[in-house]
Amino acid sequence: MTGDDAWAGLEAQVQSWIEDDPDPQTAQELRDLLDMARAAPPTIAPGREPDPTQRQALDARTAARDELADRFSGLLQFGTAGLRGRLGGGPHRMNRAVVIRAASGLADYLLGELDGVQPRPRVVIGYDARHKSIDFARDSAAVLTAVGIDVLVLPSALPTPVLAFAVRHLDADAGIMVTASHNPPQDNGYKVYLGGRVVTDSGQGAQIVPPADAAIAAEIAHVPSVASVPRAANGWTVLGPEVLDAYVASVVALAPTDDATRAAAKRLRIVLTPLHGVGGDVAQRVLAEAGFTDVLVVPEQAEPDGDFPSVAFPNPEEPGAIDLAIGLASDEGADLVIALDPDADRCGVGIQDLRHRSFRGPDTAEAEGWRILHGDETGSLLGARLAGTAPQNGAAFASSIVSSRLLGKIAAAAGYRHAQTLTGFKWISRVDGLVFGYEEALGYCVDPAHVRDKDGISAALLVAGLAARLKAEGRTVVDALDDLAREHGLHLTDQVSARFADLSQIGETVHRIRSRPPKSLAGSRVTEVVDLATGSEDDRDGLPPTEGLRLLTADGSRVIVRPSGTEPKVKCYLEVVVPLDPAADHKAVGRARHDARTRLDAVAADVRSALGI
């Protein structure tokens, strides 16, 4: 096919999509691109270079054609993460046309799964405060209602954990959450949960996994056009405050009840940031009802704002994202920082660790020792906190394959089974007998009976409760981390990642280390290399195949290399372990942390070299 033929085909595709687009804004956006792409090229004399005006016209025409080619490179893929992508017109973007097709496909899937079963399917829908979220929620409600599905819509922009709670609380057969979580402001997404009569095992109320994702995607692919999808003008139910009240009550029930801790809770000063998301009001309410009344909210980040004006990436893990919170904590003499991501399903925790003070830089909060706990540190603290809270027979702790091995040791010492899963809470939340699950990317499930997903708000309450109990004892979170190191060995984790503009380089980078793995890391011989993509039966974890590689060294260090499931990155998860005497004093633990950091930095350097990044 010639270039002209390819353009003619793309031009026809774009025009057809515009005619079927229900959103005047995205339809006009595509018309403007089409006009630029159709512009006749400027006349340039033979043998002459284009002048600046001509070059600008040529570049604009080429850019418009490239942009349209990308937007029409296929329908945005529906998978185990649902939908997620950049806002804009066209099938490869998040927009009302794509969402209407997705809702129609989900409706057909539910009607097929529950064919002949009464009462009719029930779906609950939630949304956050990102651009277009409420529009996508209303379109979904209109599509589902039109085919006879009972639709319940949350009353306002609320956190993802509230929607996950509502799926189980309302015995819904499915749930839809319109959110892109911690993605940049130009993105949005569409998470799907299954429960009720569709999923009845331990995954009831969790996000979709195969084969449901493929079955829904197949139904979406069968939708011929937006015009063919019926949409009701009304008929769905907008819920009142009852579901949110029930969620808050379920979380507050996790609060400490002993007198000493409750008294300390009133004296615990907490700085909270919702990072311009929807978790601020709910988190403040939960903390207040649980007895934590000294809570300071970062004013610049308090209100929901889909532009996320104060941060480049609204993710507590990203450098600089919670600098304002750390600064406020330093200024106000706070005990604890809690940072929620925009849909409040992740929780970052900041503490003052005097061993991290540095006098080489300016007089900043970081120089005073304030730091964010790694997700593995928070996950281990919560695991230790929850050990003993449930019957041990059949009860399980769970963590993803890229999370620290420390939770497995904590579980074994407490008499619990420990399960490793693939990354993502769609897998963690499905573990039979789950009591607690986490992954290192700041995701924690502390109450799986009510929320089969990560929940930043309930995790925040448990962290606050732990800090209050320690304060009552005259101790700190740092002391609790040291206790875990003495009992199980000092586990230190970190991450090396590389972001790629060219997605083909991701596979090439993973293949490079698969074909030529390093012989040693930080001077310790590599003793085991496991290709996670083979899913071999002798793999000790018994996991299904997944893209990635695991390396173990003679000194117990571990590296896992895998492509990110949500970002254009290759991520490398590093862990070193330093044995400690159970009677080690504070200085000995500090030296062990320094030694572990030195070794971890050396591992990171060797990994970067092996990956060529």
Residue 79 has phi, psi (to 5 degrees) of -140, -155
- Check pLDDT > 80 for residue 542: no
What residues contact residue 518 under an 8 Å CB cut-off, 6+ apart?
Answer: 526, 551, 606, 607, 609, 610
Q: Among all chains, which residue has been given the structure tokens 């993509």?
A: 533
Q: Among all chains, which residue has been given the structure tokens 């005619």?
A: 19
Which candidate, 197, 272, 228, places its Cα nearest to that of 105?
Answer: 228
Reported confidence tier of residue 80, pLDDT bands at 50, 70, 90? confident
pLDDT at 363: 56
pLDDT at 299: 98
CA angle 339, 340, 341 (to 5 degrees): 125
243-292 per-position pLDDT tens digit: 999 999 999 999 999 999 999 999 999 999 999 999 999 999 999 999 99
What residues contact residue 245 under an 8 Å CB cut-off, 6+ apart?
Answer: none
- Check pLDDT > 80 for residue 361: no
- Check pLDDT > 80 for residue 436: yes
pLDDT at 564: 76
- Check pLDDT > 90 for residue 43: no
Q: Are 568 and 588 in contact (CB under 8 A)?
A: no
pLDDT at 34: 96
Question: Judging by DSSP bridges, how do beta strands 83-86 and 187-194 pair with one another?
Answer: antiparallel
Reported confidence tier of residue 358, pLDDT bands at 50, 70, 90? low
- Check pLDDT > 60 for residue 360: no
Reported confidence tier of residue 612, pLDDT bands at 50, 70, 90? confident
Q: Which two tokens stand for residue 32?
A: 């403007």
Residue 533 has phi, psi (to 5 degrees) of -75, -20
Q: Residue 299 has what DSSP assignment?
A: G
Distances from the Cα of 125 to the Cα of 145, 166, 237, 522, angstroms: 12, 9, 10, 49
Distances from the Cα of 498 to the Cα of 132, 420, 509, 575, angstroms: 30, 25, 10, 18
Q: Which residue has the higher pLDDT, 328 or 514?
A: 328
Q: What is the DSSP string of 195-212?
A: -TTT--STTTTEEP-TTH
- Check pLDDT > 50 for residue 536: no
Question: Judging by DSSP bridges, how do beta strands 549-553 and 558-563 pair with one another?
Answer: antiparallel
Least confident of 277-291, 328-342, 402-416, 551-565: 551-565
d(CA 436, CA 114): 31
Instruction: Please confirm whether the linkage preceding 119 is cis (ω < 30° from 0).
Output: yes
159 exposure class (CB count in 10 Å sphere: 0-12, 13-18, 19+): buried
346-356 per-position pLDDT tens digit: 999 999 988 77
- Check pLDDT > 70 for residue 565: no
Distances from the Cα of 581 to the Cα of 68, 234, 485, 493, 575, angstroms: 62, 67, 9, 20, 20
Q: Are 457 and 339 in contact (CB under 8 A)?
A: no
Q: Which residue has the higher pLDDT, 309 or 609?
A: 309
Q: Among all chains, which residue has been given the structure tokens 């949500």?
A: 566
Q: Which domains does the chain have, with CATH numbers?
A: 3-71 (no CATH), 83-240 (3.40.120.10), 246-484 (3.40.120.10), 489-611 (3.30.310.50)
90-130 per-position pLDDT tens digit: 999 999 999 999 999 999 999 999 998 999 999 999 999 99
Calculate mean pLDDT across residues 35-54: 85
- Check pLDDT > 70 for residue 537: no
Q: Which two tokens stand for residue 316?
A: 């507590």
Q: Are 435 and 448 in contact (CB under 8 A)?
A: yes
Q: Among all chains, which residue has been given the structure tokens 């304002």?
A: 324
200-227 per-position pLDDT tens digit: 999 999 999 999 999 999 999 999 999 9
Reported confidence tier of residue 538, pLDDT bands at 50, 70, 90? very low
Element (H, E) at 400: strand 396-400
Least confident of 340-354, 442-456, 502-516, 547-561: 502-516
The answer to whether the predicted template modeling score (pTM) of the entire model surpasses 0.85 is yes
Residues in the chain: 613
Reported confidence tier of residue 47, pLDDT bands at 50, 70, 90? confident
Please list the active-site residues: 181
Q: Residue 155 has what DSSP assignment?
A: S
Q: Which residue has the higher pLDDT, 540 or 268?
A: 268
Calculate mean pLDDT across residues 444-452: 97
Q: Are 371 and 316 in contact (CB under 8 A)?
A: no
Mean pLDDT (the chain, rounded): 93
Least confident of 317-321, 336-340, 449-453, 507-511: 507-511
